[in-house]
Chain A
């Protein structure tokens, strides 16, 4: 579907989060990246929100409170200390992180605050052991300019990164605690972005500005973009956790499709004359009997476990739940997202998709009959423990009512395919209160002056320098910068004697071509490349082996290049063995060598490459062969 984004009134605001590459975490002296792990520590917690003085209930907090889960943290004593475990008050704000954030603020024409105040922002899903995220405003206002358009910056914040979810089970959630406390800068733009492409460009530009500080982390999981997307007559949707820049346009496109679809459904429901009253008055009916002898495996399994099949009729919704605007964009999917998030149920079905899932047409007629309905209606069924099934259907009822009004405002999570899934309601006014354990941090004018005078070079300046220094084309250098490999490139050049063109081409072309083949190149870390080029430099592996080795390491990211060589059976060839072989080939092709040395060299090279491709550098081999061949002729 082609969408005219101007016409639908698309408005996007970005929140770009990026980890800072400081020595220590934001509120303690733990490393931001631990190389080796210490003694394993596993501990459990429960969180409950202290009540607000006003006694009001925040929808997002209520959501988490209702789902009160046991929280299990996994860590080790080298990566975290008592601060991350919420067993010791935070130490002072990390001045290195403040400096990076202030530098970024200056680069974005933002006004640093006179005094930084750390706040506690209530988050009780367990991602922070304290139950709040520590965050502070570093600067207010400002702008960046890209593609000839000024994009206003709203705020620049510095916050602690949260723990990473490892696993979710019924009533239990597991986190890896090691990431908690890594400094995270958050840049929020005004919602002035008008197309998916523009959002991509703005995010990319902000990324480049941040990288100019030289103190941001690179690679998988170091960047997260949140998108605030709205269209005319739609709603403001907060989409969390878009990790890859390339995914931004897709997420926005699909969100627009989703909102337009929901608006279309609203119009249709209006036309059909569905009323809120009608939905509200529908009883929840137990249909377990119908499925006594069902062939549906999932239904059978749940009933055997003691579950019930509960059903809710949605009058005149027939056909609308299964209507698909794009893959996974259906009203039915919206219902399921709600029910799963609130009630943690698995078996959700609706009559638009039945018969199916082993449920027969006879059972479907029974359903319609029992629910006193026909195909003009939709019936939603949930099979699970009775309480949860009921809770799930109440949530679906609520969501069905919202469908009468168009797009409900909510927080959604981005999935790797660009679709989104319901996460939680949008929080009310942020529940923040001061972090009294940390004194305010004054930002003195003379300190700011010093920072302004010592700004790091912009990435354009860096590119110019690299072009000059390494004699590579501007295009290659920019590619290295965009792929976030420029720093690595320089390091490799410094630490090995591999030619810069070779390094650049492997870091860019080879990696891109592997990515096109579906290899998870984002798993490749700096250490992998560095080790590879060191081995090339020492003549222990040929640069031609790069694709095979990088592919293997991508699939086994916790192993190193030496292990890849071992596993792939890439044997290095000794010089003696090689000379021996060349001598024998010269002997075999004696005549040609004498008559046409050039042709002889290519014949011998052809033979050798069959055997040694990837095991020895082609150029090196060529020089050995030609010196031997010409040695024979003279």
Chain B
């Protein structure tokens, strides 16, 4: 029954013996020095040998446990009773939007007693914390699963796709998918292929600052996502995240064109090789480009299957052909290579690539440059790679190419059909024009 999170060894035994648990008010006497406070869980990476208590002034301190130690329980945990504020008044005539949770915490509450952060799980809770949402849409919320985004797999993409399709069939007017940010770009690409030309907007949203902080970007990103889901005239799979460091503009990126470009900043997500499709500012949507799938286009195609036999390989100087050989021998049926520059790998890899292509493996080329389009006809290495059957993937993002290949391999076992799919622009993943970069003032 005792959790005693983070405490190990002798100290854990000491606490267990005293019958205390996290959140209990305890008295601790170490070599005659008396401390009183609430027992707090121990930080996982911290040194052992300390007990952490919260003093009556709210501060935590760590007490070294050495010599004569006595622990006494003064009072037990008072179970927190949460009295949620009343749900805001229902406004009729708003579009129905569902928020699907997949991981991370869109909204949370803090237990100031123990410092614990608890995620918000229901639509009512969500509305009580971000009441503005009730003026944007008639909101429903559901938790599909709760995984760290780095743990997501192609199977999870399928599960999300199936869940979203269910809601589309139920007739909601927009879907918001709350997602951890690390692999949100991959999942957005995955849904772009699984649910092509959807009848309603499917909007991914995340936060770069966790929702327990007053400065979290979660609320405003979510407001933008719900607005786009419920009101945008376009029905695209997209990502709604901060445009810059400010809270005033949210960029709406196309799901196949977006990448997390910064480890921590609010504006981590950028549209690559194109501009965001829209912006959200002052509660309104501003469309930024024309070639968008309109709501209810009637061309919806649902194909939620993904294969786990695709591979994304970053070329680096000195890469050995053995690596490709080893992966191939594990039964992988398709490779996306992140090559150098215009789409190259070392010449010594050409024989092994030729061998696997002959074996029916799909090999597609993208660039590890952050921006630009590949062209394999400019240099001889590129031409040689084309000759052996490497497929050039234009300006497609390597991550998107990998997701698309996972999807294509699940649609067909015929490599020619897979190649045809990879070269067909299905969800805006291939751009025809390359944009000049922004002017920089020095």
Contacts and interface: CB of A to CB of B under 8 A. Distances in A.
Interface stretch (B39-47, B153-161, B426-434): B39-47
B116 interface: yes
Contacts of B82: 53-55
A440 interface: yes
A53 B59 contact: no
Interface residues of A, number: 51
B215 A52 contact: no
A433 to B, nearest CB: 4
Contact of A50 (B43, B46, B211): B211
A47 B40 contact: no
Contact of B265 (A88, A115, A137, A157): A88
Contacts of B115: 433-434
A46 interface: yes
B302 interface: no
B167 interface: no
B92 interface: no
Interface of B: 40, 43, 45-47, 50, 52, 55, 57-64, 80-85, 107-113, 115-118, 128-130, 208-209, 211-216, 219-220, 244-248, 263-266
A432 B62 contact: no
Given A47-B215, A130-B214, A442 B50 contact: yes
B37 to A, nearest CB: 11
B59 A117 contact: yes
A70 to B, nearest CB: 8
Interface in A42-71: 43-56
A131 B46 contact: no
Contacts of B129: 50-51
B214 A124 contact: yes
A86 B215 contact: yes
Contact of A130 (B57, B215, B246): B215
A335 interface: no
Given A43-B244, A47-B215, A87 B47 contact: no
- Name the prevailing secondary structure of the A interface residues: loop
A113 B247 CA distance: 39
Given A440-B47, A440-B62, 12 more contacts: A45-B246, A46-B247, A47-B215, A48-B130, A48-B219, A52-B112, A119-B59, A131-B214, A432-B58, A432-B59, A434-B115, A436-B43
Interface string A83-125: 0011111000000000000000000000001111101111010
B43 A46 contact: no
Contacts of B263: 88
Interface in A429-446: 429-434, 436, 439-440, 442
Contact of A87 (B55, B108, B264): B264
A414 B57 CA distance: 24
Q: A51, A116, A119, A136: which has the most chain B beta carbons within 10 Å?
A: A51
- Name the prevailing secondary structure of the B interface residues: loop
Given A46-B220, A131-B213, A132-B213, A53 B60 contact: no
A53 B118 contact: yes
A624 interface: no
Given A114-B63, A429-B58, A440 B215 contact: no
A50 B111 CA distance: 10
B265 to A, nearest CB: 4
Contact of A43 (B46, B81, B107, B245): B245
A123 to B, nearest CB: 8
A155 interface: yes
Contacts of A41: 245
Task: For the complex of A and B, list the 8 residue pairs with the smallest distance between their C-beta atoms, beginning with the closest.
Answer: A131-B214, A115-B62, A53-B111, A430-B58, A114-B64, A432-B58, A117-B60, A55-B83
Contacts of A50: 107-110, 117, 129, 211-214, 216
A82 B264 contact: yes
B43 A44 contact: no
A478 interface: no
A117 B50 CA distance: 12
Contacts of A429: 58, 112
Interface string A137-154: 100100000000000000
Q: A47, A50, A88, A433: which has the most chain B beta carbons within 10 Å?
A: A50
28 contacts: A43-B244, A43-B246, A46-B220, A47-B215, A48-B130, A48-B214, A50-B108, A50-B129, A50-B211, A52-B111, A54-B80, A55-B83, A86-B209, A87-B265, A113-B61, A115-B52, A119-B58, A120-B213, A130-B214, A131-B213, A137-B61, A430-B57, A430-B58, A432-B58, A433-B112, A433-B115, A439-B43, A440-B47
Contacts of A55: 81-85
